[in-house]
Amino acid sequence: MIVTQDKAISATELATLWMTYQEKTMSRRILEYFIECAEDEQAKEILQDTHTKLIGYIDRVIGILQEEGAVIPIGFTEEDVHKGVPKLFDNHFDIMFLRVIKEISMGLHTLHLSMSYRKDIILLYKELTAFTQSVSDRCVDYLQEKDVLPSAPSVTMPKVVEFAEGPNYMSGFNLFSEKRALNTVEISYLYFAIETNVFGMQLMTGFAQVANEPEVKRYFVKGKELSKKIVSDFSNLLIQSDIQPPSTWGAKATDSKVPPFSDKLMMYCTSLFCSFGLGSNAIGTAFSLRSDLPLKLIEKAKDILTFGQDGGKIMAKNGWLEQPPSMEDRNKLIK
């Protein structure tokens, strides 16, 4: 559906379209590789259907930018994916990746929707949100059917409403008092962080094996170790409350050393996941009431931020960091 608008797009709308284009063109290239390597027909169907519809949304973004006379970003092209190379990841990893990228997309589309004012752009993000949710649902159904998606722990259903009494509920550091068990809100954010970092550990392992630049290879190894540290520390928090951490995922990196993607694409993908990790940690910090948890989450957020900033420097150094559109530099124009 096309909605014409006479009103020029705002700076925030241009920013969201630019970010959407970057993320969607990256996803398109990764899907092309996964489709070629897919051995499971059901997985291949999910990947192909997503890829076809994704191209339509990319064209929608291009159309809006062209109508406004804006240059089309480079994003990611056919040069960023190398077809005909060995599989870098085992079966099911492709759908796991698609599920995670759609989790990121759902958050971005909701945010971008709230930042939009033009009806055609609002409609675009509404449709993208519905499309992303449907793909995520298909991924979850598939992974559960294949028994490779770990389930969160069960809990005894509450029988009465309770209120926290006194400061003990917030206790987490007092050596002379016992820490209370984690509540379900805290468990959910810890469990989610473990689940995504187990996936991230395998992703970084694969990327490290095939990266061309030595500096990039070292960066991905650093990312793998960071994910392992997060998984270990957060798993210990669950174990202290007698909660079983998520089991190992059913897919991992193969022994291939032939790159299916450019270093540029893999670095951007890692940067996107870092941003997602920072956002998740921030929400988890806000809703954690046991006093030791926010500090642990903040500590990990600092590590993720530092890792992400290091990645940005590598991308800028190699000419891989495409700049978002900027406002006019009035001081420069005046001079």
DSSP assignment of 158-202 equals P-S-----SGGGG-SS-TTSPPPPPPHHHHHHHHHHHHHHHHHHH
pLDDT value of position 150 = 77
Q: What is the rounded distance in angstroms from the CA atom of residue 180 to the CA atom of residue 132? A: 38
- Do 61 and 310 contact (CB within 8 A), yes or no? no
Same domain for 199 and 293? Answer: yes
Residues 296-321, mean pLDDT to the nearest whole number: 93
Window from 65-74, 132-141, 147-156, 197-206 with minimum mean pLDDT = 147-156
- pLDDT at 152 exceeding the cut of 90: no
Cα pseudo-dihedral 211, 215, 220, 225, rounded to 10: 140
- What's the pLDDT band for 1 if we cut at 50, 70, 90? very low
Write down the mean pLDDT value for the chain.
89
**Does 53 score more than 60 pLDDT?**
yes
The CATH code of the domain that includes 51 is 1.20.1260.10
Distance CA 71, CA 105 (A): 23
Q: What angle do CA 282, 322, 122 make, to 5 degrees?
A: 60
Question: Does 135 share its domain with 268?
Answer: no
Tokens of 80: 């960023």
In a domain, 110, yes or no: yes
Residue 329 lies in a domain: no
Residues 79, 185: one domain? no
More confident residue, 173 or 202: 202
Chain segment 11-43, per-residue pLDDT in tens: 999 999 999 999 999 999 999 999 999 999 999
Cα(284)–Cα(300) distance, integer angstroms = 11
Q: Is residue 88 within 8 Å of 256, Cβ to Cβ?
A: yes
Tell me, yes or no, whether 109 and 185 share the same domain: no
The count of domains in the chain is 2
Considering the domain architecture, whether residues 193 and 118 belong to the same structural domain is answered as: no
Residue 31 belongs to what domain range? Answer: 11-145
The mean pLDDT of 202-212, rounded to a whole number, is: 96
The larger pLDDT score, comparing residue 80 to residue 7, is at 80
Would residue 154 count as lying in a domain?
Answer: no
Does the pLDDT at position 134 exceed 50?
yes
Is 170 a member of any domain?
Answer: no
175 pLDDT band, cuts 50/70/90, is very low
pTM for this prediction = 0.89
Query: Which residues make Cβ contacts (< 8 Å) with residue 243, sequence separation at least 6?
Result: 153, 182, 187
Give pLDDT, residue 249: 59
Least reliable range by pLDDT among 4-18, 35-49, 237-251, 297-311: 237-251
Three-class SS state of 253: strand
Q: Do residues 83 and 136 both lie within one domain? A: yes
Q: What is the pLDDT of residue 63?
A: 97
In this structure, of 44-48, 203-207, 284-288, 304-308, the range with the lowest mean pLDDT score is 284-288
pLDDT at 169: 66
When mean pLDDT is compared across 85-94, 155-164, 202-211, 312-321, the lowest value belongs to 155-164
What mean pLDDT do residues 78-94 have? 94
CA angle 247, 226, 228 (to 5 degrees): 25
Structure confidence at residue 243 as a pLDDT band (50, 70, 90): confident
